[in-house]
Structure 1
Amino acid sequence: MRTDGPRELPPPLAVHLDDFADHLALENNRSAHTVRAYSTDVRSLLAHLAATNPDARIADLDLATLRSWLAGQVEAGAARTTIARRTSTARAFTAWLVRTGRLDQDPAVRLASARAHRTLPTVLHDEQAIEVMEAAKSGAQELDPSALRDRVILEVLYATGIRVGELCGMDLGDVDSERRVLRVLGKGDKERVVPYGVPAADALDAWLRHGRPHLGRPSSGEALLLGKRGGRIDQRQVRTVVHDAVSAIPGAPDLAPHGLRHSAATHLLEGGADLRVVQEVLGHSSLATTQLYTHVSVARLRAVHEQAHPRA
């Protein structure tokens, strides 16, 4: 996989970047988005190495170079989350260099980690989520194909908490209407089964009966959700649908599709769902990631308490 970008690297360094990108895509099954993000960071690191030594080879990549590269990012005003991500990328890259015999020792072993500040995600209140879904249901009563599809987008994202990429990649065969579950292909090609409720089932049924047949083309294939021209819907279209629907609700925060995922997880936990169950539904590999939503629930409880209690 070529990783052409605005910065030209010396060929002796560029070959390692291209091979690393191939490794991520072909061996680790990373998404195109992830490969781009890793490649951008590694390109920046190698460009820094080349700037400090025009004749540098990959064997010249040492701890001092890694530290000076990250220090430059800090001086340029990069956020702590960005520094943390680039540190992680550097570790993955140097570990791969060692495994493939391109470096004798891993210089990132002694590289300190930058802890990213974890901010609590913005979520809808229960009443706001209901308003969004009811508005979408009302807008679909005339059986307009686009309105029917938009209702499916909102209902399914909120009902299941799946990622926008997972929704866009879904095929007709991934919907089990009898058991009301979806087969979802998540990160790392990991498959999971996610349940959905009656409102989402109604939205899917209306779309499949009255919406998709009008937008479908011979080229549509098995894609579940279609754009106006009959092709598989893309993530940008879904983001527009979510943004427009949520922004129409007075007082609702400005949310992207991931905000509906956050809202779904928070409302599940507030409703008494087990943390492990929510982890499985969301497709998190680590329980620590899911635990963030317990903090969201506590924060919302505190906010309500402060507003309602006379001695808060």
Structure 2
Amino acid sequence: MLTTYFTRPATRAGYYAGPVGPYLDPFTDWLVKRGYCKDAIRHLLLGAVGFANWMQVAGGDLTSLHEGVWNTFCDHLAKQGRLHGTKGQHSIYWRGAKQFTEFLRAQQGIVATKAALAPPELVAAFEHWMQIHRGVKPSTLITYRQHVMDLLSSLDPQPEQFNATKLHGFILTYAKRNGRAVAQTRVKAARMFLRFLIATERCQPGLDAAIPTIAEWRLASLPRYLPPADVERVLEACNGARPIDIRDKAILLLLARLGLRASDVASLKFDDIDWLHGTFTVIGKSRHEAKLPLPQDVGDAILNYLRQARPSVNDVYVFITAVAPWEPITRNVVKHVATRAIRRAGVEALSFGSHIFRHSAATGLLRQGASLQVIGEVLRHRSIDTTALYAKVDIGLLQQVIRPWPGATSC
């Protein structure tokens, strides 16, 4: 199989005779299936060969990789000036080694570069409990993980030793050094972890009440949104014929027409779409399932992507990365698509990213006469208080919802 990438027989024979030899053909086949082109595969093979040779010299074993080994290899590349390319990107040696370790992990169950990041048994039990009893998404649990591990390392690895004073100080110290948003995330993570400990009888009851609340003044700011004309300018600026343009147009229409979250778009699967009835299912926060209408232009854009631009990979997710390795996109990709589209259209916005389309969809509905209850249902808010933010962009609606000052006449 290497004959496609290396023409010299001596070169191929040397690679096959080395420590990476038994893995070369299946690794090459794995790269082909992931959508890499010929030149990219050749470079990645060189990186894999270099990594395996380094492992042999270092006395390592390809069947027992862990983060410490990976970090040492990166240090080795850095000392040789081969960690990064001329433009600051990771070199072919790094990328080849990275893909090779991913291949080993997929084929042999080897935990390669992130072994040391595996959560402790107690944290893993907490994450399992959150998924079963709270329906929390894995992406949220990953966000919580570091906060929970910090709590255990800062206080005591034995939860039965926790007390209200320690917990209170842990949160306040962090809040003084960090912004409000990230401090609130730590509060949520710590509180949920304590509720898990209490439910499983691992700590004293009532300790979750010791976690202080970070002050937040709801509805204190205006929603940042784009006027309808600017939304259309963004969509019109994404009419290219390249596969990535076709994909991005479908993503942007889902954001603009339906106000979906970035995670909603990234997690859309083929089974979620009911083409016959023109609907699709979204599984949002806390595993809440909702069926939404599929507008004609949105459906047409998705269908065009599936027919003209989607890579031929066997995956249940609708949207796939535009370059190899071909795999489902993440919510960060969706955010990047939205930011890039706004900038390309030359639209001046107070903020960028995918969420501005969600705010834009809501304010557009409001100005078309939709009630806050209807908007809340479209955006799948669990509380009308969340939707009330959009009342601030409509003076007429504000006059209906605010209470008159006692003894004063109405304006």
What stretches of structure 1 of length at least 5 have no aligned partner? 9-13, 51-55, 302-312
1:162 to 260, 263, 269: 260
1:188 to 286, 295, 310: 286
2:237 to 135, 144, 149: 135
Secondary structure of residue in 1 paired with 2:376: helix
User: Would the alpha carbon gap of residues 263 and 196 (structure 1) be closer, same or farther in structure 2, given more than 3 Å must change?
Assistant: farther
CA contact (8 A) 2:136 2:286 kept: yes
Alignment of 1:40-119 (within 5 A): 40-50=146-156, 57-76=158-177, 78-118=178-218, 119=221
Q: Partner letter of residue 176 of structure 2?
A: E
Q: Partner letter of residue 99 of structure 1?
A: A
Secondary structure of residue in 2 paired with 1:157: helix
Deviation track 1:115-169 (CA, whole Å, cap 9, x = no partner) reads: 2245444211111101111222xx24xx433222211111111111111221122
Q: Which moved more, 1:31-40 or 1:19-28?
A: 19-28
2:300 to 202, 207, 213: 202
Deviation track 1:18-71 (CA, whole Å, cap 9, x = no partner) reads: 321221234433212211222222222222214xxxxx7322211100111122
**What is the deviation of 1:291?**
1.8
- The answer to whether 1:287 aligns with 2:384 is yes
- The answer to whether 1:226 aligns with 2:332 is no
Scaled by the length of structure 2, the TM-score of the pair is 0.61
Could you tell me how far apart the structure 1 residues matched to 2:140 and 2:388 are? 24
CA contact (8 A) 2:248 2:337 kept: yes
Q: Partner letter of residue 124 of structure 1?
A: L
Count of residues paired in the alignment: 279
CA contact (8 A) 1:3 1:39 kept: no
Question: 2:363 corresponds to which residue?
Answer: 266
Q: Which moved more, 1:148-157 or 1:116-125?
A: 116-125
Could you tell me how far apart the structure 1 residues matched to 2:338 and 2:300 are? 19
What stretches of structure 2 of length at least 5 have no aligned partner? 1-113, 399-411
Could you tell me how far apart the structure 1 residues matched to 2:233 and 2:217 are? 32
Could you tell me how far apart the structure 2 residues matched to 1:57 and 1:171 are? 41
Q: Which moved more, 1:124-133 or 1:221-230?
A: 221-230
Could you tell me how far apart the structure 2 residues matched to 1:222 and 1:49 are? 43
- The answer to whether 1:237 aligns with 2:333 is yes
Secondary structure of residue in 1 paired with 2:254: helix
Q: Partner letter of residue 382 of structure 2?
A: S
Which is bigger in relative contact order (C-alpha 8 A, separation at least 6)? 1
Q: Partner letter of residue 134 of structure 2?
A: N
Q: Which moved more, 1:283-292 or 1:60-69?
A: 283-292
1:37 to 115, 136, 143: 143
User: Would the alpha carbon gap of residues 163 and 251 (structure 1) be closer, same or farther in structure 2, given more than 3 Å must change?
Assistant: closer
Question: 1:306 corresponds to which residue?
Answer: none
Q: Which moved more, 1:149-158 or 1:22-31?
A: 22-31
Q: Partner letter of residue 30 of structure 1?
A: V
Could you tell me how far apart the structure 2 residues matched to 1:3 and 1:260 are? 38
Secondary structure of residue in 2 paired with 1:122: coil
**What is the deviation of 1:251?**
4.0
Deviation track 1:210-230 (CA, whole Å, cap 9, x = no partner) reads: 334xx3x2x333432233345
Could you tell me how far apart the structure 1 residues matched to 2:193 and 2:294 are? 39
Secondary structure of residue in 2 paired with 1:220: coil
Secondary structure of residue in 2 paired with 1:252: coil
Could you tell me how far apart the structure 2 residues matched to 1:167 and 1:87 are? 28
CA contact (8 A) 1:175 1:183 kept: yes
**What is the deviation of 1:80?**
2.6
Scaled by the length of structure 1, the TM-score of the pair is 0.78
Q: Partner letter of residue 155 of structure 1?
A: L
Secondary structure of residue in 1 paired with 2:382: coil
Q: Partner letter of residue 345 of structure 2?
A: I
Could you tell me how far apart the structure 1 residues matched to 2:202 and 2:236 are? 58
Question: 1:309 corresponds to which residue?
Answer: none
Secondary structure of residue in 1 paired with 2:204: coil
Q: Percent identity?
A: 25
Q: Partner letter of residue 252 of structure 2?
A: L
User: Would the alpha carbon gap of residues 110 and 246 (structure 1) be closer, same or farther in structure 2, given more than 3 Å must change?
Assistant: same
RMSD, aligned α-carbons: 2.9
Secondary structure of residue in 1 paired with 2:362: helix
**What is the deviation of 1:17?**
2.8
CA contact (8 A) 1:193 1:281 kept: no
Question: 2:15 corresponds to which residue?
Answer: none
Could you tell me how far apart the structure 1 residues matched to 2:158 and 2:302 are? 56
